[in-house]
């Protein structure tokens, strides 16, 4: 349909223009997000305490620095990229992450991550129960250990946590 409109009117649709420049738009947006998190991590949350070690902004700042470096590299090499194709299967990860974030407001972040891991590994990846349980236990131990105990970051509790917690 868009091809017919372009041929008959000589105009290109907004989605065609965006998809043509997507290899440049995404790295620019992720660079801006990375810079925002670097500033927040260093200024608002704090990066390092000389006596206690890492503060709550430590991990987000490190991830944002890596994200900025990758975004700059992607922007530099974007001229060589071919036009992206959007297949339905490629949206599953993004939709799953969005569902996990939205569910964190209902059941809390930790339970949301747990549900996401189990559903993703069993339903989408079709892993065995053994693989699903082992991977989920490892990821949850890392998430809870790194964020709650080491960095002292409390995840959102969600409505269930507020009601029953």
pLDDT at 20: 72
Coil vs helix vs strand at 51? coil
Q: How far apart are CA 137 and CA 152, in angstroms?
A: 20
- pLDDT tens-digit map of 45-65: 999 989 989 999 999 999 999
Q: Which parts of the chain sit beneath pLDDT 70? A: 1-19, 81, 83-84, 86, 165
pTM (whole model) above 0.75: no
pLDDT at 1: 47
Q: Please list, in sequence order, all residues whose beta carbon lies within 8 angstroms of the beta carbon of residue 25, skipping any fewer than 6 positions away.
A: 18
pLDDT at 11: 60
Q: How far apart are CA 132 and CA 99, in angstroms?
A: 19
Q: How far apart are CA 74 and CA 39, in angstroms?
A: 21
Dig out the tokens for 111 from the structure: 């339970």
């Amino acid at each position: 349909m868009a091809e017919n409109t372009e041929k008959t009117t000589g105009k290109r649709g907004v989605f065609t223009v965006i998809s043509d420049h997507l290899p440049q738009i995404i790295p620019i947006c992720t660079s801006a997000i990375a810079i925002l998190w670097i500033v927040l991590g260093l200024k608002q949350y704090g990066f390092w305490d000389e006596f206690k070690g890492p503060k709550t902004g430590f991990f987000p700042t490190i991830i944002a620095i890596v994200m900025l470096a990758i975004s700059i590299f992607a922007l530099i090499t974007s001229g060589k990229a071919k036009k992206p194709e959007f297949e339905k299967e490629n949206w599953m990860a993004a939709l799953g992450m969005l569902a996990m974030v939205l569910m964190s407001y209902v059941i809390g972040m930790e339970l949301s991550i747990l549900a996401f891991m189990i559903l993703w590994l069993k339903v989408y990846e079709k892993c065995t129960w053994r693989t699903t349980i082992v991977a989920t236990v490892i990821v949850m131990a890392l998430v809870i250990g790194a964020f709650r105990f080491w960095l002292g970051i409390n995840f959102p509790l969600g409505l269930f946590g507020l009601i029953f917690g």
